[in-house]
Amino acid sequence: MSIIITILIFGIVVMIHEWGHFISAKKCGVTVEEFAIGMGPKLWKKQKGETLYSIRLFPIGGFCKMADEDCENSKKVGFNGISVWKRMIIILAGVFMNFVLAIFINAVIIMFIGYAGNTVSEVEAESPAEKAGIMAGDKIVSINDSSTNLFDDIAFNISQRKSENIIVGYERNGEYFEANVNVPQKEKLGIMVNRKASLFEKGSEGLESVGFFDSVRAGFWKGVYMVKITFYGIGQLFTMQVSLDDVAGPIGLTSAVDTVYEKTIQVSIWNTVISMAEIAALLSANLGVMNLLPIPALDGGRFVFLIIEAIRRKPISPEKEGMIHFAGFAILMAFGILVAFNDVFKLL
């Protein structure tokens, strides 16, 4: 079951990413030769107009094959035959749709289960927050100059503090205040925040009901939070603050899904659905961020070449660019194999 769920999650996230490329390419007049989910031999295919739609054997990745993507010899309306600005839109459309998917999933989850906001509902007695003058009803808007829109932001920003002193920005009765709070490393700030009820919990005692637009707004900030922690994790990887053991690929994700599934299915099917949706939202944000990295073969790497072309007012040689992207793809594949072996090793 965990394998099936993981395949479904990967399939949806990748399909939305490639659909972003697909629909933007169509709108820009580019011929799309194939829209594929998965890699390897074709399991299913259907020709519709100029585009072949296919599902392939290995449920990892996918692609939107545009005419003339890496050469200029095609008679069809190709990727290289349109303006550089339109090509930028097509390249970034996949990442954009991944972010939209993450926000959408988060918003739907919040509609059903609510969310923890950034308004203080209770302050623990003798806590650092109480000693600094923070009171119930205050709205925490920043921690050490980093904005906070949800409780997730508050917790993350506090965890990233480099000293025991924290500057807490908060609003009270429409006025902005700052408090210098001393929080020893093993202590908590000492606040509880309000939990807004879902659309289906209206009238529940002690809960402030959240409407449709509030759900969308909170879903947006939850998506922003996921993007932020993904960038943070990548930064730690590149600065060697984390090891390869902290990195997981599809095999590692399947193992994580299995762990969550086994725990949540004992509670209820509904709990499992929510947990799997949260994983899908985080994976979608993660895929969007990864594709933004300026690495050859990724969308971010292709976007860098388009920026250079826009500045130079002429493209880089297709042969040279193709070689660079091929080298980048080879490195990514090698890294993927390394991560896969590491995932298997951890399972064994």
Active-site residue set: 18
Q: What are phi and psi of 110, to 5 degrees?
A: -65, -35
**Can you tell me whether residue 253 is helix, strand or coil?**
helix
- Spatial separation of the C-alpha atoms in residues 94 and 138, rounded to whole Å: 39
- Cα-based angle 91, 68, 299 (whole degrees, multiple of 5): 20
CA-based R_g, the chain, Å? 23
Q: In this structure, how many other beta carbons lie within 10 angstroms of the beta carbon of residue 82?
A: 17
Q: CA-CA distance, 151 to 283, in Å (whole number)?
A: 21
**Structural tokens at position 69:** 């993507």
Tokens of 270: 């509904």
Q: CA–CA separation, 126 vs 140, rounded Å?
A: 19
126 exposure class (CB count in 10 Å sphere: 0-12, 13-18, 19+): exposed
Among the listed residues 196, 194, 200, the one whose alpha carbon sits nearest the alpha carbon of residue 270:
200
Other CB atoms within a 10 A radius of the CB of residue 281 amount to 25
